[in-house]
Structure 1
Amino acid sequence: MKTQEHTAEAPTKIESTRTVRSLVHDLMLKHGMFRIFGNPGSNELPFLSDLPKEIEYVLGLHEQVVVGMADGFAQASGEPAFVNLHAASGTGNAMGALTNAFYSRTPLVVTAGQQVRETIGMHSFLSNVDAAQLTKPLTKWSCEPASASDVPRSFNEAVVQAQASAPGPVYLSIPYDDWDHEASPNDELLLRRSYSEEQELSASAVGRLAETIAGAGRIALILGSAVDTVGANESAVALAENTGADVYLAPSPYRLPFPNKHGQFRGVLPASIHGVNTALAPYDLVLVIGAPVFRYHQYEPDQYLDTDIEFIHITDDADEAARAPFGTAIVTGIRRAVELLAEAVEPKEGLAPLARQDFPDTEAPVDGIFDPARVFSLLRENAPADTAYVVESTSTNSAFWSQMDLQDPSSYFWPASGGLGFGMPATVGVQMGLPDRQVIGIIGDGSANYGITALWTAAQYDIPVVFIVLKNGTYGALRWFSDLLGTPDAPGMDVPDIDFLSLARGYGVTASTVDSDDSFRETLAAAIDSRKPHLIEINTSLTQP
């Protein structure tokens, strides 16, 4: 285990010069798949080349027999069985036997060869058209990897899916030109993956995890939105304080699982492979709870993580765990898992509570134009302390997290998929769900147009929400992304000259604009005191996420 003095040096390079075929053959051995039940065709031959000597090929003379043999073997041995069929025609021949396997919940990994990728779309001979749909509804999961580089991860997911939760057959269609592609260095991490499920963490599992945590030097605790969803916030704070871990939110959080000004809070992880790898490089142990691993957004390739890092993923979503490309996955109830770990981990010696974080200084508006950070600073100082915020202003994320002081559960809501149109309607809905708390929607002017008619509902049902529209006349996050992608001349990024005051009043909502700190404070106080829906329009400068 690395020591506390470990610094954020460049991650250890993972070397790999092998093919996708070699990597998948090793994954078969890792998962104990020493037999292939099959009836081959031309599309399958590249996969069957150079089979390790440990793997036996069991030939069947018809695909129904092949699946039947695999079904019997898997049921009798209690181990998942591997099946290799020929494209669509061979898969079709096997469907009758697949019906039995589906209803007996037999863990079968059924693979089929596919034509060369560039010829599938023209329905070349032996193409498996719309392959992922072919075996439904007789498989619990099916896939054709989006690229050759995703074949090893997809294969690993198939094996896990066949055994996870309610077991059953799965189906994977693989173009035969994928096998000779070079595997990604990151694929080596698949060989270190493990997966387990427990309805509640056993005493032995809790003990092992507590021992791992106690033996670690630097710990990163990465919390997902599900921690807030299931109400495990208090236990998450206790776990963090007992371990002395640095706490991050998983990329693109849609709820608040941890107080954002707690002394151990280190912010939201960036949503790129390179960004996450860089942030996690200094740690010995990374513990992710209640989040996918990971929901990347901008494409900045890198190795996933330093090979010396121990990485543990606790989630209640079996699919989420199955598709993860690295780490030790444990599928269990999140709330109880966090409670058990917080109780089991003894506070580390010498740990003292860290002081709450300061708020960066902000500048007063100039000529009626606010920096978004100033808006959030004023909200923190003037809105009720337990206010719940619905946020749909992506370009102001950094300013929001630096300025707000969110401590209570259910204080933050954000569109989980990134799809615009959540903010205004969700503000109304959250206020109805939290009638004893003030709810404020922070909405970008680009986003507002997608859900603007929610104003009518707020007026008709007298929902006492406050909508704050940050108006900069452009899709700010899109402008940032255009710079990242090198496409600054792309059209459609500006939305000037929208009169939100008139729109709000037309729907029956009181609306105001503000141009100074004092007018903001007065307008916000009046809006909250009115117990009526109110929209505040604020002209803001352009910022980056």
Structure 2
Amino acid sequence: MPSVREITIGLLRELGLTTIFGNPGSTELPMFRDFPEDFRYVMGLQESVVLGMADGFAQGTGNAAIVNLHSSAGVGHALGNLFTAFKNQTPLVVTAGQQARSILPYEPFLFAERATEFPQPFVKWSCEPARAQDVPAAIARAYAVAMAPPYGPTFVSIPIDDWDQPGEPFASRRIHAARAPDRTAMAECAEALGKAARPALVVGAGVARDGAWDAVIALAEKHQAAVWVAPMSARCSFPENHPLFAGFLTAGREAIVAQLVGHDFVLALGGPMNLYHVEGHGPHIAEGTEVWLIGDNHVHAAWAPVGTAIVANTRQALALLLESGPAPSRTAPAPRALPPVLDGSAMTDSYVLQRLAALRAPGSVIVEEAPSARGPMHDYLPIVAKDTFYTCASGGLGHGLPAAVGMALARPGDKIIAVLGDGSSMYAIQGLHAAAQLGVAVSFIVLKNRRYEALHSFGRLFGLQTLVGTQFPELDFCALAQGHGITGRSAADAASLDVALTWSLAADGPTLVEAVID
């Protein structure tokens, strides 16, 4: 009889999961006996890096990625980016080793106690199979659940001695899990949109996940609707140079009301509209504004404070709205005011992003984790092509650098640009080693302001003028890059910045630019 390992490898091959991201320990090694030549193992030097790379790879391919971690210690290291994958709605099948079944009653060294509970609540489903022969079925179910909307990570704990046990025949099944929109509800939504005098769309990451970029453009143009980006959206869902683009909603109750106050109808697509970062008071939407929400996440629909919700695939729902008849004649909303062009006399994050926008190819992919520069990025680094922007939906740090590596593996023909804060970079700096080993074409752009600027900005909201322990002027990112096998260049003025960016963007391997900003 074939072994559990042989059956599982065949299943993974059938599911297209031939790239495995991991950092194995002793309890995982039997999985890799006679490792097949058509599989690829991508090593991360820390488990959070492993999760980040897998997240980027899964988003780039559109298929789940498989992750291999080490019992409790490895899963613990990975939890921060597992939380991010859950918020990103990224499909992952996370496996972790467990000690041999025969010694589990004695709490052996490096075992996982209550293994299936540890990654909760940030996995959709978790399991430790009752028998070795159940491992392939557990992984098949984990894959099916991960790929069912809303996408997300799942978890399987596998005892070390299961892999060499004789297995039983296993046939995978096809599961079609897309959620079609309710046509009666869609007809009501279309009628309300058609009657509106000043409609607006609010687009979230689900628009990009569902491949609805073109449909959103068509709907906005049909109804001359202003298009806003949902607060903290982790993907780009509308071209930011389009005449109907209105800007980015702020993650605060009063701010969202103020930004949408002129619209009598708001259609939120693919993500939460009322996402808050600070405490607020008063209404969640202006009086007289009708709100509808469409997205694949039933949890978002449940906690939304306002609006009629339709849980469905966004692209399918938009197709019905586009078929709903002609739109009334409306005057286009006033175009968004553009920020002033900067002359480079000050080396700010805004200027660095302005030059990056000018020098990069429009179809290059931005993977961003620079929280204090998010506002300047909105102003000076517009995203104009679909599937070219990815960031962290959870607000946690340590995702962007390794996610850029995973994205480069998924899309080897594209230039990947990781826009990172210096503080954010240090959460997963080991990801540079994976980039060097793999030779991926990633330009790591580190905005070096020598401190946790996001904390300083946020601290001022609480009246804190001084924060302890948040300064780190000693960090040398070119030296860190060199230590991991990557060439880096530092730029502290406009002239050296252009030279460094041009060099990095033209490279066919990994490079790093340390942009020293005021």
Under TM normalisation by the shorter chain, which class is it?
A: 0.5 to 0.7
Q: Tell me if the contact between 1:439 and 1:466 (Cα under 8 Å) persists in the aligned partners.
A: yes
Q: Tell me if the contact between 1:224 and 1:289 (Cα under 8 Å) persists in the aligned partners.
A: yes
SS state of the match for residue 418, structure 1?
coil
Q: Tell me the equivalent position of 2:104.
A: none
Q: Tell me if the contact between 1:365 and 1:371 (Cα under 8 Å) persists in the aligned partners.
A: no
Gap change, CA 1:230 and 1:481, over 3 Å in 2: same
Q: Tell me the equivalent position of 1:461.
A: 438
Task: Select the residue among 194, 208, 213 that pairs with 2:193.
Answer: 213
1:413 aligned to 2:390? yes
**Unmatched tracts of structure 2, length 5 or more:** 1-116, 125-148, 150-177
Task: Select the residue among 248, 256, 268 that pairs with 2:236.
Answer: 256
- Residue 374 of structure 1 and its aligned partner are, at CA, apart by 1.1
Gap change, CA 1:523 and 1:293, over 3 Å in 2: closer
1:321 aligned to 2:301? yes
1:539 aligned to 2:508? no
SS state of the match for residue 413, structure 2?
coil
Task: Select the residue among 421, 437, 440 that pairs with 2:414.
Answer: 437
Gap change, CA 1:306 and 1:529, over 3 Å in 2: closer
Q: 2: CA distance between counterparts of 1:427 and 1:208?
A: 41
Q: Tell me if the contact between 1:425 and 1:454 (Cα under 8 Å) persists in the aligned partners.
A: yes
1:311 aligned to 2:288? no
**Unmatched tracts of structure 1, length 5 or more:** 1-132, 141-164, 166-197
Q: What is the CA deviation profile of residues 274-325 of structure 1, one whole-angstrom value per residue up to 9, with x for unaligned ones?
A: 1111112221111111112422102232221223211111121112111222
Q: Over the residues paired in the alignment, what is the CA RMSD in angstroms? A: 2.4
The amino acid that maps onto 1:385 is P
Q: 2: CA distance between counterparts of 1:262 and 1:219?
A: 17
Q: 2: CA distance between counterparts of 1:345 and 1:357?
A: 32
The amino acid that maps onto 2:220 is A
Q: 2: CA distance between counterparts of 1:275 and 1:354?
A: 20
Residues 120-139 of structure 1 aligned to structure 2 (within 5 Å): none
Q: 1: CA distance between counterparts of 2:509 and 2:197?
A: 52
- Residue 352 of structure 1 and its aligned partner are, at CA, apart by 6.1
Q: Tell me the equivalent position of 2:360.
A: 383
1:270 aligned to 2:247? no
Task: Select the residue among 375, 394, 398 that pairs with 1:398.
Answer: 375
Q: Tell me if the contact between 1:263 and 1:357 (Cα under 8 Å) persists in the aligned partners.
A: no
Q: What is the CA deviation profile of residues 208-233 of structure 1, one whole-angstrom value per residue up to 9, with x for unaligned ones?
A: 22221111111121011110111100
Q: Tell me the equivalent position of 2:262.
A: 282
- Residue 486 of structure 1 and its aligned partner are, at CA, apart by 2.0
SS state of the match for residue 419, structure 1?
coil
Q: 2: CA distance between counterparts of 1:532 and 1:365?
A: 31
SS state of the match for residue 323, structure 2?
helix
Q: What is the CA deviation profile of residues 133-167 of structure 1, one whole-angstrom value per residue up to 9, with x for unaligned ones?
A: 9xx99xx9xxxxxxxxxxxxxxxxxxxxxxxx9xx
Q: 1: CA distance between counterparts of 2:262 and 2:336?
A: 23
Gap change, CA 1:209 and 1:459, over 3 Å in 2: same
The amino acid that maps onto 1:455 is L
Q: 2: CA distance between counterparts of 1:352 and 1:251?
A: 24
Q: 1: CA distance between counterparts of 2:330 and 2:270?
A: 29
Task: Select the residue among 212, 215, 218 that pairs with 1:235.
Answer: 215
The amino acid that maps onto 1:523 is A
The amino acid that maps onto 2:242 is H
The amino acid that maps onto 1:281 is V
- Residue 451 of structure 1 and its aligned partner are, at CA, apart by 0.9
Q: 2: CA distance between counterparts of 1:405 and 1:325?
A: 30
Aligned length: 346
Q: 1: CA distance between counterparts of 2:284 and 2:334?
A: 30
Q: 2: CA distance between counterparts of 1:345 and 1:354?
A: 25
Q: 1: CA distance between counterparts of 2:492 and 2:470?
A: 25
Q: Tell me the equivalent position of 2:101.
A: none
Which structure has the larger Rg? 1
- Residue 355 of structure 1 and its aligned partner are, at CA, apart by 6.9
SS state of the match for residue 456, structure 1?
helix
- Residue 350 of structure 1 and its aligned partner are, at CA, apart by 5.2
Q: Tell me if the contact between 1:392 and 1:444 (Cα under 8 Å) persists in the aligned partners.
A: yes
- Residue 459 of structure 1 and its aligned partner are, at CA, apart by 0.5
- Residue 357 of structure 1 and its aligned partner are, at CA, apart by 6.7
Q: 1: CA distance between counterparts of 2:465 and 2:338?
A: 35
Q: Tell me if the contact between 2:492 and 2:517 (Cα under 8 Å) persists in the aligned partners.
A: no
Q: Tell me if the contact between 1:424 and 1:454 (Cα under 8 Å) persists in the aligned partners.
A: yes
- Residue 455 of structure 1 and its aligned partner are, at CA, apart by 0.4
Q: 2: CA distance between counterparts of 1:272 and 1:353?
A: 24
Gap change, CA 1:355 and 1:341, over 3 Å in 2: same
- Residue 488 of structure 1 and its aligned partner are, at CA, apart by 2.8
Q: What is the CA deviation profile of residues 458-509 of structure 1, one whole-angstrom value per residue up to 9, with x for unaligned ones?
A: 0011111000000111111111110112233332222221011111100000
Q: Tell me the equivalent position of 2:482.
A: 505
Using CA pairs below 8 Å that are at least 6 residues apart, which structure has the higher relative contact order?
2
Gap change, CA 1:455 and 1:474, over 3 Å in 2: same
Same amino acid, percent of matched pairs: 33
1:330 aligned to 2:310? yes
TM-score (norm 2): 0.63
Task: Select the residue among 487, 495, 500 that pairs with 1:518.
Answer: 495
Q: 2: CA distance between counterparts of 1:537 and 1:365?
A: 18
- Residue 385 of structure 1 and its aligned partner are, at CA, apart by 1.4
SS state of the match for residue 330, structure 1?
strand
Q: 1: CA distance between counterparts of 2:395 and 2:338?
A: 29
Q: Tell me the equivalent position of 1:247.
A: 227
The amino acid that maps onto 1:299 is E
SS state of the match for residue 254, structure 1?
coil
TM-score (norm 1): 0.60
Q: 2: CA distance between counterparts of 1:348 and 1:359?
A: 32
- Residue 510 of structure 1 and its aligned partner are, at CA, apart by 0.4
Q: Tell me if the contact between 1:244 and 1:348 (Cα under 8 Å) persists in the aligned partners.
A: no
Residues 473-492 of structure 1 aligned to structure 2 (within 5 Å): 473-492=450-469
SS state of the match for residue 344, structure 1?
coil
- Residue 338 of structure 1 and its aligned partner are, at CA, apart by 1.6
SS state of the match for residue 313, structure 1?
strand
Q: What is the CA deviation profile of residues 171-219 of structure 1, one whole-angstrom value per residue up to 9, with x for unaligned ones?
A: xxxxxxxxxxxxxxxxxxxxxxxxxxx9423444333222211111111
- Residue 239 of structure 1 and its aligned partner are, at CA, apart by 0.8
SS state of the match for residue 340, structure 2?
coil
Gap change, CA 1:338 and 1:528, over 3 Å in 2: same
Q: 2: CA distance between counterparts of 1:225 and 1:408?
A: 14
Q: Tell me if the contact between 2:369 and 2:400 (Cα under 8 Å) persists in the aligned partners.
A: yes
Q: 2: CA distance between counterparts of 1:214 and 1:515?
A: 53
1:343 aligned to 2:320? no
